[in-house]
């Protein structure tokens, strides 16, 4: 590369960085001004000095208001600190022994991975049925895999309205994969994957008459579920991954809102070496508190102010909910050095999972294309830890085209939430009652879908009785369109992450060669234990607990306050001032976050975009790409292969081809229409081939490609598929029964469906098609 080209690239990069930084700065300032203005107006209304209505303006300041507020403030302060005291005591109690998972439901231990030939700290639990709700052992079992990202286990079922609760109330057997605080010596992520395979086999053995178990993976548990399913696709049913980062480099470097600071952390910290350093300081164990600290740093307003002020302002009612969540959030679990290094090198920095560059314990690559069960991807636009691009882009990287998805018989369904945050995807009771409940209700129907990429939408309505009801709709999409919509800047902002990977590898080697021997020599179990105990997140909990003798008076004082509680009036002007001040502090911290993230983003691209432009930009890109729009789709290998087989497949292929010809196209389909298809398939099961549903989806996808690219020839060659007289008679008989079925007639077939039906019936009546089949196959070659 010549100097002039390099300077031109660097200038373009600098101009865009500056433009994006200025825009983010302006947006942050606008948000701050808006929130300060709202707080100021609220304060004026609350103190009676504004222009509010007579009904909304409280009495002006007087000594009695000050006295009432002072008493209320002092009492709330005592109750607030008593709640933190309770939190600290619970933390100490959970730290002494083996902390149980934070599950809301009773459970039984099924398998303990610590007893396996390759021990791991994972355990398979079976949740007990809810009181008054039976469990049908013939129903599909659900296996929930919780994230192991620094916290403890059980978050997928830590309240009644949760993923586990939804499935239990529907009568499904529910199993839960949990983990213990201490990893087993020598345990690796590949050992964990093998253990989870044994869990799945055990669940299948306990339910031999049930469909294959559904896997529910949350965040890190999502990619763990995908690795598990690709290793043993014959044992797993549908896979639901919630907020799971699969394409770690992806997100949107846009010029508006929606930045994703988490994806820049690895580059700004110099890559994977820091995780290795932390594990070496821990005498071979990585402290999950570091991961939790990173999560907390994403939202300083909530971490340092909002959640505590919400507790303080509602201290009479909020402590139970606060303590319930803190039991999970404040539990810090450990990983072996091998585990955290595998994650950071292969996933966070290397982004290797979808590329097939990660091998399992047997030495075979994890090929996600081997998964045969439907995959449901649930993400949120409000998630700044796993943005939608990270949840969905791996599909485009892995498959490359819509035709490949169909040819492989894969069903992928995407569900998008508008604003819920990362934890809310699998923690929020509101999300559990809506999205997760609907996912459970439609999972068996999704298994009957033809192969392809679908969007799932949930429409909410209120009935005459005031009850909220939900209606599910699906619409089929092309992969190319979805990829373009999610990545408005053509993913050029992912290129600098190649430079991050190169720098990370260099820093890792440097650390291992020069620093690691000294760090390991100085570390021991005592120093590691002291580092963990005095980590800021642990210290702030046990320092406000029964371990602190100076706080022994607090519980008795708090109990006295509860017995003599005096609230300030709702119209107290001092309370209004407090709320306004709290809003100002929160807005200021949010402003700090916005400016910090904007500066981090600018620094990241200033360093790594220029490194990429200088050293890596001219290398050939070996990443799988979606074919250009101008390319002839007929040249795609999967299309050519399907067209070459236009006259092969017999009765099964003829049924699959007719199924697509007679399907309704181009419109969103309500769940009822898919349910009708499933019902018809059960009614006419004697006419259907006795093959597995995975194989049927593959054949169905192949026939859809044939009809899409050669519609007239697809119909003309049907007689060749039905050359056997018995097959043809059986096929025509099925068509006749469907045409007379009341359920089909009530669904009001459109003109295209009726025309396709007549063409199929006509070509079968005339026969022929063999010579044309041979000619088309020759052309496809």
d(CA 681, CA 20) in angstroms, rounded, equals 54
Tens digits of per-residue pLDDT, 691-750? 989 999 999 999 999 999 999 999 999 999 999 999 999 999 999 998 898 888 888 888
Write the burial class of residue 467 (CB in 10 Å: 0-12 exposed, 13-18 middle, 19+ buried): exposed
User: What is the predicted pLDDT for the residue at 491?
Assistant: 83
Span of 338-352, 457-471, 598-612 with lowest mean pLDDT: 457-471
User: What is the predicted pLDDT for the residue at 627?
Assistant: 41
d(CA 223, CA 375) in angstroms, rounded, equals 12
Asked whether 342 and 335 are in contact (CB, 8 A), the reply is: no
Computed over every residue of the chain, the mean pLDDT equals 89
Quick one: average pLDDT of 165-174? 94
Return the closest-CA partner of residue 154 out of 173, 136, 170, 174: 174
- Who wins on pLDDT, 319 or 483? 319
Asked if residue 151 has pLDDT above 60, the reply is: yes
Quick one: average pLDDT of 278-298? 96
User: What is the predicted pLDDT for the residue at 776?
Assistant: 45
Confidence of residue 384 (pLDDT cuts 50, 70, 90): confident
d(CA 199, CA 113) in angstroms, rounded, equals 9
Which DSSP category does 710 fall into? -
Quick one: average pLDDT of 659-673? 81
Quick one: average pLDDT of 203-227? 94
d(CA 390, CA 491) in angstroms, rounded, equals 12
Asked whether 144 and 158 are in contact (CB, 8 A), the reply is: no
d(CA 360, CA 364) in angstroms, rounded, equals 6
User: What is the predicted pLDDT for the residue at 718?
Assistant: 93
Asked if residue 463 has pLDDT above 80, the reply is: no
Asked whether 256 and 283 are in contact (CB, 8 A), the reply is: no
Confidence of residue 777 (pLDDT cuts 50, 70, 90): very low
d(CA 192, CA 194) in angstroms, rounded, equals 5
Asked if residue 257 has pLDDT above 60, the reply is: no
Give the ranges where 605-670 is alpha helix by DSSP (H): 610-611, 637-644, 650-661
The number of residues making up the chain comes to 781
Confidence of residue 768 (pLDDT cuts 50, 70, 90): low
Residue given tokens 């298994």 in the structure block: 447
Helix, coil or strand: residue 59? coil
- Report how far Cα 541 is from the mean position of its chain's Cα atoms: 30
Tens digits of per-residue pLDDT, 67-112? 999 999 999 999 999 999 999 999 999 998 888 999 999 999 999 9
Asked if residue 40 has pLDDT above 60, the reply is: yes
Confidence of residue 624 (pLDDT cuts 50, 70, 90): very low
Asked if residue 59 has pLDDT above 90, the reply is: no
Quick one: average pLDDT of 203-220? 95
Quick one: average pLDDT of 553-581? 93
Give the angle subtended at the CA of 105 by the CAs of 103 and 108, to the nearest 5°: 95
Share of the chain above pLDDT 90, in %: 64
User: What is the predicted pLDDT for the residue at 513?
Assistant: 97
Span of 5-9, 158-162, 366-370, 777-781 with lowest mean pLDDT: 777-781
- Helix pair 751-766, 650-661: axis angle to 10 deg: 150
Confidence of residue 1 (pLDDT cuts 50, 70, 90): low
Helix, coil or strand: residue 445? helix
Quick one: average pLDDT of 747-768? 84
Tens digits of per-residue pLDDT, 346-375? 988 988 887 778 888 778 888 999 999 999
Asked whether 654 and 620 are in contact (CB, 8 A), the reply is: no
d(CA 481, CA 461) in angstroms, rounded, equals 29
Quick one: average pLDDT of 488-502? 87
Asked if residue 263 has pLDDT above 80, the reply is: yes
Confidence of residue 615 (pLDDT cuts 50, 70, 90): confident
Tens digits of per-residue pLDDT, 290-317? 999 999 999 999 999 999 999 999 999 9
Does the reported pTM lie above 0.85? Answer: yes
Which DSSP category does 359 fall into? B
Confidence of residue 477 (pLDDT cuts 50, 70, 90): very high
Asked if residue 6 has pLDDT above 50, the reply is: yes
Return the closest-CA partner of residue 216 out of 143, 141, 122: 143
User: What is the predicted pLDDT for the residue at 49?
Assistant: 57
Asked whether 87 and 538 are in contact (CB, 8 A), the reply is: no
Give the angle subtended at the CA of 568 by the CAs of 564 and 572, to the nearest 5°: 170
- Who wins on pLDDT, 261 or 79? 79
User: What is the predicted pLDDT for the residue at 55?
Assistant: 47
Q: What is the largest CA-CA distance in the chain?
A: 101
Fold classification of 107-264+351-490 is Rossmann fold (3.40.50)
d(CA 314, CA 131) in angstroms, rounded, equals 32
The terminus-to-terminus CA distance of the chain in angstroms comes to: 42
Return the domain boundaries, the chain.
3-97+554-616, 107-264+351-490, 633-780
Q: Rg of the chain over CA atoms, in angstroms?
A: 30
Asked if residue 458 has pLDDT above 80, the reply is: yes
Tens digits of per-residue pLDDT, 391-443? 999 999 899 889 999 999 999 999 999 889 898 998 888 899 899 999 999 99
* The two structure tokens encoding residue 306: 């909002």
User: What is the predicted pLDDT for the residue at 774?
Assistant: 47
Quick one: average pLDDT of 474-486? 89
d(CA 542, CA 307) in angstroms, rounded, equals 19
Tens digits of per-residue pLDDT, 110-132? 999 999 999 999 999 999 999 88
């Amino acid at each position: 590369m010549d100097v002039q080209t390099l300077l031109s690239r660097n200038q373009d990069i600098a101009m865009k960085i500056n433009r994006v930084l200025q825009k983010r700065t302006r947006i942050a300032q606008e948000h701050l001004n808006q929130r300060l203005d709202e707080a100021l107006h609220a304060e004026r209304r609350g103190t009676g000095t504004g222009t509010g209505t007579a009904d909304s303006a409280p009495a002006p300041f007087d000594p009695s208001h000050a006295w009432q507020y002072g008493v209320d403030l002092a009492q709330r302060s005592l109750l607030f600190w008593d709640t933190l005291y309770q939190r600290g005591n619970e933390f100490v109690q959970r730290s002494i022994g083996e902390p149980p998972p934070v599950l809301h439901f009773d459970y039984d231990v099924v398998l303990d991975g610590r007893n396996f030939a390759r021990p791991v700290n994972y355990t398979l639990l079976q949740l007990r049925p809810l009181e008054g709700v039976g469990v049908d052992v013939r129903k599909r079992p659900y296996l929930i895999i919780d994230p192991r990202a620094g916290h403890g286990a059980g978050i997928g079922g830590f309240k009644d309205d949760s993923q586990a609760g939804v499935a239990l109330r529907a009568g499904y057997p529910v199993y839960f994969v949990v983990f213990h605080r201490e990893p087993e010596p020598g345990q690796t992520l590949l050992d964990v994957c093998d253990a989870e395979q044994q869990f799945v086999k055990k669940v299948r053995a306990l339910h031999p008459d049930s469909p294959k178990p559904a896997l529910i993976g949350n965040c890190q548990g999502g990619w763990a579920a995908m690795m598990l399913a690709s290793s043993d696709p014959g044992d797993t049913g549908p896979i639901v991954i919630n907020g799971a980062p699969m394409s770690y480099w992806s997100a949107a470097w846009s010029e508006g809102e929606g930045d994703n600071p988490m994806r820049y952390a690895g580059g700004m910290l110099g890559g994977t070496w820091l995780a290795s350093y932390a594990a070496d300081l821990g005498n071979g164990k990585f402290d999950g508190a570091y991961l939790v600290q990173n999560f907390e740093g994403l939202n300083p307003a909530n971490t340092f102010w909002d959640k505590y002020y919400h507790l303080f302002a509602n201290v009479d009612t909020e402590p139970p909910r606060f303590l319930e969540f803190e039991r999970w959030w404040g539990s810090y679990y450990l990983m072996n050095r091998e585990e955290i290094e595998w994650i950071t090198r292969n996933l966070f920095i290397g982004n290797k999972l979808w590329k097939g560059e990660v091998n399992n314990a047997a030495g075979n690559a994890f090929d996600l294309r081997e998964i045969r069960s439907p995959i449901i991807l649930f993400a949120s636009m409000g998630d700044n830890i796993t943005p939608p691009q990270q949840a969905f882009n791996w599909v485009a990287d892995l498959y490359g085209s819509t035709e490949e998805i169909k040819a492989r018989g894969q069903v992928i369904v995407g569900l998008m939430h508008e604003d819920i945050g990362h934890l809310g995807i699998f923690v929020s009771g509101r999300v559990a009652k809506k999205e997760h409940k609907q996912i459970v209700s439609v999972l068996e129907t999704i298994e009957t879908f033809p192969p392809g990429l679908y969007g799932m939408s949930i429409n909410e309505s209120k009935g005459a009785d005031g009850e909220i009801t939900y209606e599910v709709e699906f619409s089929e999409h092309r992969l190319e369109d979805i990829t373009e919509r999610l990545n408005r800047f053509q993913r050029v902002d992912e290129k600098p992450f190649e430079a991050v990977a190169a720098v990370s590898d260099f820093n890792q080697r440097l650390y291992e060669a020069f620093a690691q021997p000294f760090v390991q020599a100085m570390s021991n179990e005592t120093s590691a234990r002291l580092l963990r105990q005095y980590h800021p997140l642990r210290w702030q909990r046990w320092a406000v607990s029964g371990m602190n003798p100076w706080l022994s008076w607090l519980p008795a004082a708090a109990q006295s306050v509860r017995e003599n509680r005096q609230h300030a009036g709702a119209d107290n002007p001092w309370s209004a001032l407090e709320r306004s001040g709290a809003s100002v502090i929160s807005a200021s911290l949010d402003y700090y976050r916005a400016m910090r993230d904007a500066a981090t983003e600018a620094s990241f691209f200033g360093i790594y975009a220029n490194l990429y432009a200088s050293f890596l930009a001219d290398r050939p890109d070996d990443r799988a790409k979606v074919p250009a729009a101008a390319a002839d789709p007929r040249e795609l290998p999967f299309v050519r292969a399907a067209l070459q087989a236009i006259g092969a497949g017999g009765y099964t292929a003829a049924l699959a081809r007719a199924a697509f010809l007679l399907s309704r196209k181009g419109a969103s389909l309500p769940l009822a229409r898919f349910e009708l298809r499933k019902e018809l398939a059960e009614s006419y099961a004697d006419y259907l081939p006795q093959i597995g549903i995975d194989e049927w989806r593959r054949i169905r996808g192949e026939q859809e490609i044939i009809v899409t690219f050669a519609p007239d020839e697809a119909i003309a060659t049907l007689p060749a598929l039905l050359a056997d007289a018995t097959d043809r008679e059986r096929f025509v008989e099925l068509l006749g029964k469907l045409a007379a079925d009341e359920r089909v007639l009530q669904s009001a077939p459109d003109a295209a469906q009726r025309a396709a039906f007549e063409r199929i019936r006509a070509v079968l009546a005339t026969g022929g098609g063999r010579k044309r089949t041979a000619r088309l196959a020759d052309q496809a070659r």
